[in-house]
Structure 1
Amino acid sequence: MQQTRRAFLQTGTLLAATLPLSQLKLTAAAAPAEAPPAGGGREVLFSPGFIAERKNAYDRFEPLIKPAQNPVMVAEMPWEGRGGINWGSVLRSPVDGKYRFFYNTDFPGAQEGAVLVDNSMQGKSHYVVCYAESDDGLTWRRPALNLHFQDQFPGNNIVFTWPSYYNDASTVIEDRHDRDPARRFKMSMFHIDTKDRDLTGVCLFVSPDGLRWTFTGTVLPAQDASSIWQDQRTGHYYAFLKDRRDGNRSRMLMHSADFKNWSEPSWIVTPGHGDSAGTNFYNQSAFTLCGRTLGFLNLYDLTTQTTWIELLESGDNLNWQRMPSQPRLLAPGAPGTYDCGGAYVGLAEPILAGDEYRYYYYASPDRHDAADTADGSGPRPCLAYATFRKNRLVGQQTEHDGYFVTLPFKCPGGRLFLNFIGREPVTVSVKRPGYGDDYERFTQADCLPVTGDTLRGEITWKTGARLDELKGKYIRLKVAGKNIVAYSAMFEV
């Protein structure tokens, strides 16, 4: 019987609806690249992990801003139960610009039995995946798909159902690398299956349109609150998984070049020196900014039952570090607000809209354990978003006269632009690696100072030196100035 169930899930589609496929130009997936190019050149983010030397300079972080429009989508349909709207992925189509939102919810309908998951009994509700869409990312509509439970809930937008004791944290990505149109969308979802225990874990699915999903047969070994991410620079896949280390929720990583064959899991974030006994790492997402991989990390404090969001970074997508000062970039709101209980990570990348990024997140009015005892009569989890200015999330700042120096990297040549804020003169010199000093004609004294508040302040040298002279050589950038904030540099070739 178990073999029949597994065979059905692997070969049969779990949904029965069809939408026209958008025409996309797809490219083959590739292995991770070292120092991937950005727009034909290279970007350098001045994040803590890429800084080698400093004087009177410090890490700079910009807290995410919660707009007044929040929340932008709340549970209001009969099939959106006491769990509200949670663990969502908001995507923006590269073809038509439409926003798509895949989210979890649960509706009344007791299932037989219950299991203990994450300190609470689960199995009394039916967890499903729903789909909503928007033209501007602020006003959302639920299309009447009627793919499931249409008799019980006419006009519903449910796109995935898998009867079980527990489904959680479905993450959806739109894959622009896979040549197979039947695999354009990919989803991960934690699942507990008491009929076939081999199906318990983070299960992977594919779809041509985000509505008809097919189980791939792959189950990754993990607990709930997991997610997947695809690096669009390379097409490589990464699964951020939850397990416990010494009883505390911690983060593991698995990765794959084809979504079929995966590495074995390894720890990437665990409680360490300076963390309290109540520190738990609940979930994680990832994205790229100015050529570097960053991530939003959920911190869950067992003593206060609240969650907030920190920033992570990685130089290779495999080894991850928390920021040294561990700043809270997105914290719970004031008592009685839509996210006073916790700010949980959104499972998709931030979306660039004009001159700012929008980061959609899962907002809860209840503290962690209180959510399991709420009667559903009050506010429920919802979709909210926070913003940060384009390419201005993390960087370096000087106080008085100061400077900082980057790690070495290969010079791509071309023209150099600086993303900075400075009323006083700012200079950039190009240094040799190791114990080396400045390259001749690229010294601080040679640099023509710049001032202002700009994403693209061009850096030149009065010697007439051109970076093409250093192309292919290892260099370090030294940025100097008085009371400046610098976020990134960009080479255009």
Structure 2
Amino acid sequence: MSLFLFLDDWFLDAYSDVVRRFPTARYVRHIEPPEAAVGTKRPHWNVARGCYEVAATSANKNLFMMESADGTLWERGPALKLRTVGDVPAGSALNLDRFYGTGGFDARSIVLHDPHDVPERRYKLLLFPYVRGIEGGPGVVDCSADGTEWTIHFDYRWYTQPKGSDCTNCLFYNPRRKVWQAICRRWNNDRRIAMTQSADLEHWSEPRVIVQPDALDSPLLQLYGMPVMEYEGYFIGGLQCYQVPHREEGPAPWSKWAGFVEGQLAYSYDGELWLRPHRNAFVPRNEPGCWASSSVYPVTLRPDGKRFLINALGPRGHHASKRQESRLVEYELRRDGFAYFESLGNFGRLVTRCLVPNAGATVTLNYAAPDGRLQVQALDAAYAPVPGYTFAECSPLTGDEIEGGVRWKSRADLSPLAGQRIRLEFRMADARLYAIRSDCKLGYTALESPIDWL
């Protein structure tokens, strides 16, 4: 394990005079589509080509993709090639235009970059390529080597429940379980977060609920969808929380249709057990009169230099509003900035549970202390400071760094402590600590050998 976030206390042994805070993502802008855009007219991020793209139509009504590196200047993208393999499901009428995203946001998913698979399946997306969209047949997997030539595999049927999965369906690979996992709904209009998984893309499990509204949520909360990002061993979810009214006269008496959506934070250490550290907005709605003012649906989370970029669907009207037009909007968050500890008053203190450094392990911190400082010392398993690694020998860290290296007078890494149980103690004043990076195993169990991960 190399990245330690402060989403909970599991890696900590003690702390005092610090407080944990959970930041909210900051609205940056909306992406205006080109005039030729069709369908939903909502661009999305193409991880294969590293740009925004949106479906457009030519004068003779042919579909093509337009691209933009910055979300402002648009140009025609390369010609896409689409083929199918396997038998089309009986009774299903195809509409391959669904691949371009001309239908609802649930008809196709965001592209997954999958370095764990063979080259010809390097990029993947989930698709319902039917005239009737999600109700036209089973959900299938679309694969590509380069993001330009795509193959729809009708034998990769990831979702077979009737009427499809009407949410932001999301595919990701779990390297710990060695399976692909798809976030979906258990049933159509069952607004909870479910998951199905497969070790070979061909045989998929039945969807099972993994996140359910509970008593800590606001009254009558429903969960719309949850895009997932695998990030340095963690799984981070942008949970779409749907707040419905207590009474409404909607188009169907068996469900609620009005209300607003905004994003909450969810996370997992293994991709299966999902946790929510709080119930506040992680991706909040925008100001009235702006895109994303009534609802915001997170759809992608991705690292971008020293920050995370969160792309979301941002309508102005609520869920059942007659004004259904929306834009792709961007929010940003500090890299690793899902949670941080902030010192109170004088010096705050944190101590980790026992870690076992690997050979050559260094310690780097994501911190902000422009008017303060942080120092680190190593303790043995009995809490005694280790000579050569004490506070007195640690060069103070100041400023604002995403990966600020820790050094001691005669030590630049933890090599002399490799294989030993140690703790890291942090002393901080007027500072925020977002994350620790160090190549260590976990030594807090009673096993003879340390463990790599939870």
TM range (shorter): 0.7 to 0.9
Aligned counterpart in structure 2 of residue 367 of structure 1, from 318, 331, 334? 318
Q: Paired residue for 2:74?
A: 140
> How do residues 112-151 of structure 1 correspond to structure 2 at under 5 angstroms?
131-143=65-77
Q: How far is the alpha carbon of 1:322 from its aligned partner?
A: 0.9
**What does residue 32 of structure 1 align with?**
none
- 2:7 is aligned to 47
| TM-score for both structures, normalised by structure 2 | 0.74
3-state SS in 1 of match to 2:438: strand
Quick one: distance in 2 between partners of 1:381 and 1:275?
Answer: 27
Paired residue for 1:331?
284
1:168-221 Cα deviation digits (max 9, x unpaired): 35232233332242x232111357888998x74543222344453313321324
- Displacement of 1:472: 3.4
Report what 2:125 is aligned to: 187
Counterparts of 2:200 and 2:391, CA distance in 1: 47
Q: Distance in 1 between matches of 2:272 and 2:208?
A: 9
Deviations 1:105-149 (A, max 9, x none): 99xxxxxxxxxxxxxxxxxxxxxx97432233443335485989x
Give the Å deviation of 1:405: 3.3
Q: What does residue 200 of structure 2 align with? A: 258
In structure 2, the CA distance between the partners of 1:267 and 1:146, relative to structure 1 (3 Å rule), is closer
2:339 maps to 1:385: no
1:396-420 deviation line (CA, Å, top 9, x unaligned): 2221232233454442343222221
Letter in 1 for 2:262: W
2:401 match: 454
State percent identity of aligned pairs: 20
The offset of 1:393, in angstroms, is: 4.0
Give the counterpart of 1:343 among 296, 308, 314.
Answer: 296
Aligned partner (choices 378, 401, 406) of residue 430 of structure 1: 378
The change in CA–CA distance for 1:292 and 1:477 in structure 2 (over 3 A counts) is: farther
Please list, as runs of the form range in 1=range in 2, the aligned pairs for 1:52-131 lying within 5 A after superposition.
52=12, 53-67=14-28, 70-74=29-33, 76-77=35-36, 79-80=38-39, 83-85=40-42, 89-93=44-48, 98-101=50-53, 131=65
Contact 2:67 2:75 in 1 (8 A): yes
Q: Does structure 1 residue 203 correspond to structure 2 residue 162?
A: no
Using the TM superposition, give the Cα deviation of residue 468 of structure 1 relative to its aligned residue in structure 2, in angstroms: 1.4
The CA distance in 1 between the partners of 2:344 and 2:283, in whole Å, is: 25
> Any gaps of 5 or more consecutive residues in structure 1?
1-34, 36-41, 107-128, 149-156
| Deviation of 1:490 (Å) | 2.4
The Cα shift of 1:340 comes to 1.4
In the other structure, the counterpart of 1:21 is: none
Change (3 A) 1:368 1:177: same
How far does residue 166 in structure 1 lie from its aligned partner after superposition? Answer: 10
Distance 1:446 1:471 in 2: 19
Q: Deviations over 1:74-116 (max 9, x none)?
A: 3744732xx442xx641344xxx6415367x99xxxxxxxxxx
Distance in 2 (CA, whole Å) between partners of 1:136 and 1:233 is 34
- CA distance, structure 2, for counterparts of residue 425 and residue 165 of structure 1: 50
How far apart are 1:438 and its partner, in Å? 4.2
Cα deviations across residues 361-405 of structure 1 (Å, max 9, x unaligned)?
Answer: 2111111111xx34x7xxx11212122233434322221232233
Q: 1:163 offset after TM fit, Å?
A: 11
Q: Distance in 2 between matches of 1:135 and 1:194?
A: 33
| Superposed CA RMSD | 4.0
Q: Which residue of 1 aligns with 2:448?
A: none
Equivalent-residue separation in structure 2 for 1:162 and 1:334 (angstroms): 28
Structure 1 residue 344 displacement after superposition: 0.6
Residue aligning to 1:23: none
Q: Which amino acid aligns with 2:116?
A: H
Which consecutive segments of 4 or more residues in structure 1 shift more than 6 A? 161-166, 191-197, 232-235
Give distance in 2, aligned partners of 1:78 and 1:100. 13
Q: Kindly state the Cα deviation for residue 270 of structure 1 after the two structures are TM-superposed.
A: 0.9
| Partner in structure 2 of residue 356 of structure 1 | 307
Contact 1:145 1:158 in 2 (8 A): no
The DSSP-based 3-state class of the residue aligned with 2:107 is strand
Is the contact made by 1:50 and 1:406 (CA closer than 8 Å) also made in structure 2? Answer: no
The answer as to 2:394 corresponding to 1:394 is: no
Mapped partners of 1:278, 1:252: distance in 2: 18
Which residues of structure 2 form unaligned runs of 5+?
Answer: 58-62, 83-95, 246-257, 441-454
Q: Specify the SS of the correspondent of 1:66.
A: strand
| Aligned partners of 1:130 and 1:158 also within 8 Å | no
- Equivalent in the alignment of 1:151: none
2:263 is equivalent to residue 309 of structure 1: yes
Greater RCO, CA 8 A, separation 6+: 1
SS of the aligned residue for 2:118 comes to coil
Query: What letter is aligned with 1:313?
Result: Y
TM-score, normalization: structure 1? 0.69
Q: Choose the corresponding residue for 2:109, options 151, 167, 170.
A: 170
Task: Measure the CA separation in 1 of the matches of 2:134 and 2:44.
Answer: 28
Q: Report matched runs for 1:206-355 at 5 Å.
A: 206-208=143-145, 209-217=147-155, 218-220=157-159, 221=161, 223-225=165-167, 226-230=169-173, 236-243=179-186, 249-289=191-231, 291-303=233-245, 305-323=259-277, 325-346=278-299, 348-352=300-304, 354-355=305-306
Q: Which amino acid aligns with 2:51?
A: Y
Query: Any idea what the Cα deviations from partners look like across 1:17-54, whole Å, max 9, x if unmatched?
Result: xxxxxxxxxxxxxxxxxx3xxxxxx3322333544333
